[in-house]
Structures are given as C-alpha cells and as structure tokens.
Chains A and B, each alone.
Chain A
Amino acid sequence: MMLNPMNLAGGAVWLLLAMAVLAMFLHRNQPLLVIASFSVSAASSLAATAAGVWVVGSNITSQAIMSIGLPDLPFHLRLDPLAGFFMTVVGLLSFIVSVYSLGYVKGIALQRTITRMVIFYALFLAGMFMVILADDALFFLVSWEVMAAASYFLVFFEDERVENRRAAFLYMVVAHVGAIAILLSFGVMSGLATGFEGFHGYTFDAMREAQFPAAWATAAFLLAFFGFGAKAGVIPLHVWLPEAHPVAPSNVSALMSGVMLKTAIYGIVRVTFDLIRVFPWWWGTVVLVFGLISAVMGVLYALMQHDLKRLLAYHSVENIGIILIGIGLAMIFRSFNLPLLAALALTAGLYHTLNHAIFKGLLFMGAGSVLHATGERNMEEMGGLIHHMPWTAALFLVGCIAISGLPPFNGFVSEWLTFQAFLLSPSLPSPLMKLLIPMGAALLALTAALAAACFVKAFGVTFLGHWRGHHTLHIHEADWFMRVGMIMAAALCLCFGILPTLVIDWMDNVPEQLVGTRIGTTAGAFGWMWLTPVAQERASYSGPLVFLVTLSVIVIAYLLLHVRAGSIKRVPLWDCGFAKVTPRMQYTATAFSMPIRRIFGFLFSIREQVRLNPQAPHRAFPLRMHYYLRVRDRFWYWLYKPIVDISFWISRKAGRLQQGRIQTYLIYSFVTVIVLLIFMR
C-alpha cells in the first residue's frame, strides 16, 4: 500500500475506531487504559495532521469510495486543500490535547472509572475526522451524528450533577435541531442535482456539477447556515455553549470549543464556496451581520461571567463571530467579483480558525489545570495562583494575550488581516456597502478591546493578587504531560504570530481552490519577515522585527538598570495606616466589569439588589450588607422560553388524547379510518 494522504487520514480514523473497541477490554486496568488510549489518539491525530499539511501544501485532491454504506449508496471520501486545512486544525489541537489528557485524565482516573470517557473521546475524534473526509451527504451526516453523540456523552461524563445532565440535554436538542436543518439543506441540493426520484444526487460531486435555481439555492444556504450556526454557536443559537462547555471535562471542552465548532465553519465554507458556488451578495451580508452580532454580544456576555470556563465558552461565541466576519466579507467580495480581496478575507477567516483552535485549546487546558489544582471554577474564590502554579500562569497568559488580539501572538495577525479586508471595502461598487461595512470594522475593534478587558479580568482575578477562597487547599502545579501540552500550544501561538507569511504561504491553496486566486505572491513578496497582504504601500507588518526590537529594548533596559544588584526591598503591603488589608478587599470579577455592565446594561437582563441588615441600629451604620446580582442572557427569555413554553403547552394538550382506555383508542382508530376513506378515495 502506498503512503498517500488519504491512507494516512483513513488510517488515523481506523486506529481511533479500533481504540474505542479495545478500550472496553482494558476496562480493568485503568492506568494502562489512560496511557494506551491517549497515546493512540495522539499518534492518530499526528497522522491526520500530517495528511492535512501534505494535502494543503502540495495542492492535491484525492478521492476514494468505500464499500460500506447503504446498498448501492457507498460512502465517498475526498481530501482536497479545504478539507486538508481543517484536517490540520483538528489534528493539531487533538494531538496537543491528547498529550495533555495523559496527565489530566490520570488525575480523574483516581476518582472514577474513565472507560466511558476514553471510548467516546476516541469516537469523537474519529467523528470529526470523518466529517472532514466525507464527500457525500450520507456519510457527512452519519459522521456528524457520531461526533454529536460522542460529544453528548462526554458532556454527560460527570452525570451525578443535575446541571450536567441539563446541559447535555440542551446540547443534544440544539445539535439535533441543527442536524435536521443540515439534512434538509442537503436534501434540497441533492434533489435539485439529479431530480427527486433517484438517490444519486447525494454525492457532493453531483451537487458541485448542478445548477441550482436562485430561490432553492437560497433555501439550501439558509438551512445550512442555520444548521451549522447552531453547532458553531452563532448568536442567537449559542445558548447550549455556555452550559455544555463548563461542565464537560476540561480536555473535552478544549476540543469542543477549539475544533468541534470549527467543523461547523467547515460546513458553511464547504456548502457556500464549494457546493453552491454562485451566490448573491446578500448571503455574505447575512453571514457578516451574524458574525458581528456574535462577536460583540459574545464578548459582552463573557465579561459578565465569573465562572472561568463559562467565560471561555462565551469567548468561543465571540471568536466564531470573528471567523464568520472574515468568511462573510469573502463572500461579499466574491459575489462582486473581486477575487484577490475575497482571497484575503477568506485567508483572514481561516487563519483565525487555526489560531482560535490553538489559543482556545490552550486557555481551556489552563482552566483545566486550575480546576484540577483548586477544584474551583468560580473566579471570585481564586486569586494569587501565579505563586503556586507559575507554569500554568505563564502559559495561560500567553493564551490571554493571543485571544485579546495583541502582538506578537497569533490572534493579532488574523485580526489584523480581517481589519485589512475591512479597509479594502471601498473597492466595492455599491455605495451603501461602502458606508456600512466600515461600521463593522468599528464593531470588530470594540470586540477586540473588550476581549482585552475581559482577559485582564480573567487573568488578574484568577492568577494575580491574593487567594480569595475560604478553604486553603494544597494547590499544586500541573504535571509534566499537562505542561508539555500547554507549552506546545503556547509555542504555536508565538510561531503563528511572528511567522505568519510561512503559514499563509502554506495555506494559499485553499483560497486558490475556493475563490480562484492566491494572496501568497503578494503577502510574502518581501520575504518571510514581511507580511504585505495586498501591496507594500498599502500595509505591512513584520512580526519578527516587532518581536525582536521590543525584546532587545527590554533586555538592554534590564541590563543597564541591573548594574546595582540587590537594590530591591520586599516589604509588606502598605495599608495607608488603617486596619490590615484583607484578600476580600481586592477587586472582584464582578466589580471589575461593573463599568462595562453599566454602559452596556441594556443588552442584558440584570437584577441588582442591595439589602441592608434590618437589625442595624441606624441606617447609616449597617452591620452587614447583602449584595445580589444576576445577569442573564436576554435571548433565553426572548427566544427560547416562549418556544419551550409553547412546546410544553402543545404536548400537554396532546397528552389529553391519552386516556388509558382501550375503547377510546378504538374510537380514534375508527375515526381515522373513516377520515382516510373520505379523503383518499
């Protein structure tokens, strides 16, 4: 058998499936199970990454047909640059998280059996790889469901708590509503491809060749965008995300947030750019507007959180928004036939996809280490962890800087590229869009700045200051497997940040495949040090130079100032001569976000109460104060609560039919038969 990318990726999937089966036999030896399963996952993820890098780098497309599936409807596989790119994204983070899991799950294995987690972890990874490999609607949906079901059981892992079961249920419901929409979308496309009588329109090849009438194409696109949007967590379909991500084990949240959401992005790109191909400009506007709403609302909701993992989950909503902004701009540019700008915007979106996978994975792994060490998710009970967990703190900080879109890390580069794409919107022919699209750039700037505020809060409250908690446990640093996982992610954050030209040069075959142009020739025209997306006069950024110059100034200043050694005196904190400063006097996460809560308060449903203890002798001298604050997602009340209420109402009404008496049921059957006889003559 020759070694080619398809075999490599297929081998990775088979290996994972085999591991899921094998795990059942290793049930008795839990420590061995941890080592065996996560080593296998790491190896197969590495193989998948290699396949992806290979396919994208050398621009090959390979197809295969598997003799599994329904009779006469075999599964089709295909690895093209787009699939290869997402294969790389998924594989890279899966590899890192699998290494991390070697340490993380070992800790969990001391408390409970982890066989179930190991099985579904392997299935989950296999499902994601299969979604990307799929080249027909049937196999795509089967893989999609494998992925959804496996991740459902992973969210469900610690099932003794009510909130976990509720979160898993909510996730399942939203995932399936989305899956139905995707199924319908593929149904429309395959039906139009070869007619509704036959089944052979189910392959993506048939859809690629078909010409869709405009109205049906729009229906297919909107259904697909709804379905994939539900998986990606696009506002207002995001409600499952902040529930499911916090309760899943942290290695799983890293994968769900880092790469599972990306399969939905893959779906959107695949359906619009590859399957439908020709679309009007307003589709791009829909994607852009939902992207902007998700970005701004996601970060604002994140600011209101004090649960570390919930905060990160809302940031996934934000970053999915930023990715969709890039993709929406690419769609707009493409529909106005501006291929170079479309390639730039698409590169920005896809680059952010890659970057978000890495830094969000890093952040969730860091949050996992904190959870592991302190048993606490509430930031208000933490503080000062930098002294106990120096490695985790430094690596988490890298993730914070990267996600805030600050140089020299990778988040900055993709946001910068998105800004550049925005700034090129004056080349659009429509005057209205020329005026309105720059507003989107302002919203993106607002998002980036709010994200920085949010991560100052997250890092500052969790790792800096003093420990706020009531209990002082022995807080321990993460073990070496966990550290190595996080170090790899942090190193990638830095590499993708200071060497963007190499990455863009590599992934250039993806825009080539989808919009027919590459930007690598202009983006890297001045060598690997200079990123010049359109032209050097237009804009340029040199990651290596910014990094090196800043670093050398820092080193020079440090060396010059440290001639006098030992001139630092450590003293207790100055308390202005009053009573001793206690850790409870520090700024809390709630206090930190108070100004922003007040400014953007109209977007939330907030209940705030201050109650004085009535036993105080006088109002001016309260003994105790009680402060109550509840910030809720408005969408839950506007959108979901009515739907939930209506469906309960309908089911209650329908429940009346059920009386438990055989005579009544016979009457139902009789009436039905009569009605059918009347109408179906």
Chain B
Amino acid sequence: MNVYPFISEILQIAIVLGCAPAFVGWVRMLKCWSQGRTSPSLLQPYRDIRKLFAKDVVLAENASWIFRFTPYLVFGTTVLAGGIVPMLSIDLPLSATADAIVLVALFAIARFFIALAGMDIGTAFGGMGSSREMTIASLAEPAMLMAIFTISLAARSTSLSQIVQVIYSGQSVLKPSLAFAFLAFVLISLAETGRIPVDNPATHLELTMIHEAMILEYSGRHLALIEWAGMMKLFLFMALGAVLFFPWGIDASGSAWGVVLAFLFLLLKLAASGVVLVMIETGLAKMRLFRLTEFLGSAFLMATLGMLAYYILD
C-alpha cells in the first residue's frame, strides 16, 4: 500500500489548520497598510485563538445542546472540507469521498447549525443574523452550482481532483468559460465567507452585521472553534480558487520535493489572493441587504455566461 498519499493528506490538513490564522493575519495586515494604519503582527490571530481557548465559557441560561454542539460540528465539517480540496497534491485519499457538490453541502450544514445556534438563545440579534445569512446563502447557492456546472463541463467531472488534473494537464487552460466561472466564483466566495461588500467581518454594528450577529453569544473555547473554522473557511475558498483556476505548481508526480515546491507555490498564490481580497474590500463599501440580489444575480449571470461560452466558443 502506498503511504505517500496519506502523508500528503495529513500534511494538508495540518497546513489548513495551521496556516489559516496566518492568512487572516496577512489580510488584516494588508488592510491596515492600505488604510494607513499600523498593523498588528501576523501572529495576532493565533494569540486571539489561544486566549479564547484559555478562557471560561459563559453560557446563557437557556442555551440548549444545539448551542454547545454547533462549534464542534462547524469545526469538524470545515476540517473535513480542508481534507477534500486538493492543494498540494492531486492524489488525495479523502478527495474521492466528496465532490464539489458535497463540499458545498458540507459548508451548508455548518451554516445550518450556526443559524440554529443564532436562534437558540432567543435574542433579536441572533434571529436577525440567521435570517439574513440563510437568505444570502439561498441566493448564492444557484450561482455556486452554475459555476460548478461550468467547470465540470470542461473537466467532465465534479470530482475536485479530477477537475484540477484536467485543468493542470493543460487541456483547458485560459478558456473563456473558465474566466467567466472564475469571476462568478470570486463573487460567490465574497458572499460565502462573509467579506465586504456582503458582510463586514470587523463590524459589531447591529444593523449591518450578519455572521457576527449569529455568534454574538459565544464565548471561550466555543468562540475559538467558530473563529478558527471561519478562518479555515476563508483559507479554503482562497485555496480552492487558486487551485481550480491557477493550478500551476501543484504536485502531480508524487515526490517529496514536489510537495515542498507545491507548498511554496500555494503560499505565493495565497499571498497574492490576499492582496486581491484587500483591494476588493478597500475599494468597495458594504452593500444594503436588498442590493445583494443584484450582486448575487450577477454572479449567477457570470456563471451562466461561462456555460454559454463553453458551448459557443470552446
């Protein structure tokens, strides 16, 4: 039995767990610089998580088991998702357990439980956050599926490894359909990971917050798990975009040197995607909730155009 894929699998999960806070630190750092502020260190997110793990949990009196179970579930599904997206090597054992649609569903079940936890305490904020989050998710889902559909047309598969392999082997680099799918993917990622212009991760202003409203009552290790999972989700979406649309450097040969090289490439691509993310976030203002239909509608349109482009141009 070949142990090599299992090693790269474990390595990859470790990278997702370990590097996600650094990536968030990097984005925050860039944001501070772009706004002319002095930034905290790259390691600040690690310190935040460590602090939260050390603190006691303060729980509302009527919190049910759902409220306590949610952080673990969210963490669990996100770690599994981290094992599915091929980042370093195409040959991943866990990658076959789930294709792109299952990956979307894994994020959906995490969202389902966070939304329930938001309603569990019975405050108005929690319900408001849950309602908004589920509305945005239901508008983002069709666009997401269309993007997957367009990519799967080129690769004739919804399996992530297979898609990466086909795109990597040069059968369909720089096709117009993929360009449209990429644009759609960028818009959807902003919505799914709760970034500006859809949601502002830094705000606690009652009228604008969405994700933060749902997790407002969390504290201690529960909050740490949810924050960490949120960081991993951002990391995963960025890595997914980098791997699907710019798969250069990923290891297809199966050598140790290839994995190291793939890791360096991944770091470079992520650093660049952080820059793009910050440029989008500083250039745009947060949208009103009811303008989001247009935002996500245009994502859907992009993905559909991608599909048309595949039939007409490719």
Chain B residues near A392: list those with CB within 8 A.
Answer: none
Contacts of A598 in B (CB 8 A): 290
**Is B287 interfacial (CB 8 A cutoff)?**
no
Q: Which of B53, B109, B138, B157 contacts A407 (CB under 8 A)? A: B109
Describe B's contact surface by its main secondary structure. Answer: helix
| Contact between chains at B158 and A420 (CB < 8 Å) | yes
Is there an interface contact between A387 and B97, defined as CB atoms closer than 8 Å? no
Q: List the B side residues contacting A587 at CB < 8 Å.
A: 119, 124, 126-128, 130-131
How far is it, in angstroms, between the C-alpha of A459 and the C-alpha of B64 when the chains are bound? 13
Would you call A541 and B98 a contact (CB within 8 A)? yes
Given contacts A423-B158, A442-B145, A465 and B105 within 8 Å (CB-CB): no
B residues in contact with A570, CB < 8 Å: 59-61, 63
Mask of B150-182 contacts with A, CB within 8 angstroms, 1/0: 001100111100100000000000000000000
A435 to B116, CA, bound (A): 37
How many residues on chain B are close to A (CB under 8 Å)? 80
User: Distance in Å from the Cβ of A355 to the closest Cβ of chain B?
Assistant: 15
Q: Is the CB of B159 within 8 A of A596?
A: no
**Residue A416, interface by CB 8 Å:** yes
A460 touches B62 (CB 8 A): no
- Name the interface residues of B65-106: CB closer than 8 Å to any CB of A: 65-66, 72-73, 75-77, 79-80, 83, 94, 96-99, 101-102, 105-106
CB of B130 within 8 A of CB of A456, answer yes
- Is residue A443 contacting chain B, with contact meaning CB distance below 8 A? yes
Chain A residues whose C-beta falls within 8 Å of the C-beta of B115 in the assembled complex: 456, 460
B142 x A599 contact (CB < 8 A): no
**A446/B101 contact (C-beta < 8 A), A557-B76, A561-B221, A583-B122 known:** no
A593 proximal to B (CB < 8 A): yes
Please tell me if the beta carbons of A591 and B127 are within 8 angstroms of each other in the complex. yes
Given known contacts A406-B109, A536-B96, A539-B99, A464 and B141 CB-to-CB distance under 8 angstroms: no
Tell me, in angstroms, the Cα distance from A549 to B64 when the chains sit together.
Answer: 25
Contacts A416-B102, A456-B130, A540-B159; A387 near B96 (Cβ below 8 A): no
Q: Does A530 contact B (CB under 8 A)?
A: yes
Contact with B along A593-615 (1 / 0, CB 8 A): 11110110000000000000000
Contacts of B106 in A (CB 8 A): 407, 546
B231 contacts A by Cβ under 8 Å:
no
A438 at the interface (CB under 8 A from B): yes
User: B158 to A449, Cβ gap below 8 A?
Assistant: no
How close is B162's CB to chain A, nearest CB, in angstroms? 5
- Given that A460-B119, A572-B61 are contacting pairs, would A407 and B158 also be in contact in the complex, using a CB cutoff of 8 Å? no
From the candidates A405, A407, A569, A592, name the one contacting B131 in the complex (CB within 8 A): A592
Contacts of B140 in A (CB 8 A): 449
With CB as the reference atom, state the residue of chain B lying closest to A454.
B134
Cβ 8 A contact of A387, one of B62, B83, B99: B62
Q: With A460-B119, A540-B96, A569-B56 in contact, is A595–B76 under 8 Å at CB? A: no
A460 touches B123 (CB 8 A): no
CB atoms of B144 and A453 under 8 A apart: no
CA distance A461 to B107 in the complex (A): 23
B158 close to A586 (CB less than 8 A)? no
Q: Taking the complex as formed, is B38 at the interface, i.e. its CB lies under 8 A from any CB of chain A?
A: no
- Asked whether A445 lies within 8 Å of B145 as measured between CB atoms, the reply is yes
Q: How far is the CB of A550 from the nearest CB of chain B, in Å?
A: 4
Which A residues touch B245, using CB under 8 A? none
Complex contact A530–B57 (CB within 8 A): no
Nearest Cβ on chain B to A381's Cβ, whole angstroms: 14
Q: Is the CB of B122 within 8 A of A383?
A: yes
Decide if B77 touches A384 in the complex (CB within 8 Å): no
Contact present for A545 and B94 (CB under 8 Å): yes
- Asked if A419 is at the interface (CB within 8 A of a chain B CB), the reply is yes
- A431-B58 in contact given A536-B96, A537-B159, A567-B220 (Cβ < 8 Å): no
Query: Within 8 Å of chain A (Cβ to Cβ): is B293?
Result: yes
**Interface membership of A568, Cβ < 8 A:** yes
Chain B CB within 8 A of A573 CB? yes
Closest Cβ–Cβ distance, residue A569 to chain B (whole Å): 5
Task: Indicate if the CB atoms of B60 and A546 lie closer than 8 Å.
Answer: no
Once bound together, how far apart are the Cα atoms of A439 and B98, in whole Å? 23
CA distance A538 to B217 in the complex (A): 43
A644 contacts across to B, CB distance below 8 A: none
Bound: A448/B156 CA distance, A = 24
| Cβ-defined partner of A406 (8 Å) among B57, B58, B105, B138 | B105
Q: What is the CB-to-nearest-CB distance from A134 to chain B, in angstroms, rounded to a whole number? A: 39
Beyond A419-B101, A456-B116, whether A537 also contacts B146 by CB under 8 A is: no
Q: Within the assembled complex, what's the spacing in Å between the Cα atoms of A571 and B98?
A: 41
A257 part of interface (Cβ distance < 8 Å):
no
Contact pattern, B 301-314, Cβ under 8 Å of A = 1, otherwise 0: 00010011001000
Q: Taking A442-B146, A452-B138, A457-B134 as given, write out 7 further A-B residue pairs in contact, using a Cβ cutoff of 8 Å, ordered by the A residue number.
A: A401-B112, A406-B109, A452-B112, A453-B137, A538-B158, A546-B80, A549-B97
* 27 A-B pairs whose Cβ atoms sit less than 8 Å apart in the complex: A387-B64, A404-B108, A404-B112, A416-B105, A422-B149, A439-B304, A441-B146, A442-B300, A449-B108, A449-B139, A452-B108, A460-B118, A460-B127, A546-B106, A561-B221, A567-B220, A568-B57, A569-B57, A569-B58, A570-B61, A573-B61, A586-B124, A587-B128, A587-B130, A592-B131, A595-B135, A595-B289
4 residue pairs, one from A and one from B, having the closest CB atoms: A587-B127, A465-B122, A460-B119, A453-B134
